Structure 1
Amino acid sequence: MKRYLLIFAIISLFFNGWIGSSFASEKPDYEKYGRIATAVVIEDYPGEEVVEYEYTGRQKLTETNVTDSFTFQVKEDGKPVTVVVKITHSLDNSKTLTMSVEEKQG
């Protein structure tokens, strides 16, 4: 698991240096919440492999509140598990958030 995280970190640094230099101002605004969601999944499934990660969209709740959704594929004991993380936050105050983590069957 640590090896995969190290490989992912190296690839991310490479792409941030290569692509990020020309598109630095175009970072998606959900990036921070994707990092939070990833940290929670890694914490909830220690030692398990996170196979896939996908940002599945944003739902507007009010003028200032939105929910960003992320779907992860995790291998738990060699079996695939789908984990959906939803983070509700204010566009005005980036420090206020509510999070739900749900394991989907099938």
Structure 2
Amino acid sequence: MKRLLFVFIIISLFMGAWTLSAAASEKPDYEKYGRIATAVVKEDFPGEDVVEYQYTGRQKVSASDVTDSFTFQVNEAGKPVTLIVKVTHSLDNKRTLSLTVEEKRG
């Protein structure tokens, strides 16, 4: 009986560790579009430092399309510039449909 309990505990520990490692290895589905947004900002502001980057959320556009928004803080000639990058893409085929960059004033 003790041996059966011991085996059950060991199996439970392995299953828990496997589930935890599988969950930790999954990346957020917006990560790809964050890399695209970062590349666009770096292209628009070459040589300038991206000080801050934040995923600001997802908005549903249609049944299969969504817009992921990102906020960037960039120093341009020593002055802070806030940029909003919106990437609209399809959840079905994972392709980018459009990308917009807006400078936030004030």
What TM bracket, shorter-length normalisation?
0.7 to 0.9
Residue 82 (structure 1) aligned with residue 61 (structure 2): no
State the match for 2:70 in structure 1: 70
Uncovered stretches (5+) of structure 1, i.e. residues with no partner: 1-20
CA-based RMSD of the aligned residues comes to: 1.3
State the match for 1:61 in structure 2: 61
Residue 41 (structure 1) aligned with residue 41 (structure 2): yes
Give TM-score, length-normalised by structure 2.
0.76
State how far apart, in whole Å, the 2-side matches of 1:98 and 1:52 are: 23
Uncovered stretches (5+) of structure 2, i.e. residues with no partner: 1-19
Residue 29 (structure 1) aligned with residue 29 (structure 2): yes
Give TM-score, length-normalised by structure 1.
0.76
Residue 94 (structure 1) aligned with residue 99 (structure 2): no
Q: How many residues align?
A: 85
| Range with greater deviation from structure 2 (35-44 or 89-98) | 89-98
State the match for 2:11 in structure 1: none
State how far apart, in whole Å, the 1-side matches of 2:96 and 2:83 are: 22
State how far apart, in whole Å, the 1-side matches of 2:65 and 2:40 are: 21
Based on CA coordinates, which of the two structures has the bigger radius of gyration?
A: 2
User: Which 4+ stretches in 1 moved above 6 angstroms?
Assistant: none
State the match for 1:8 in structure 2: none
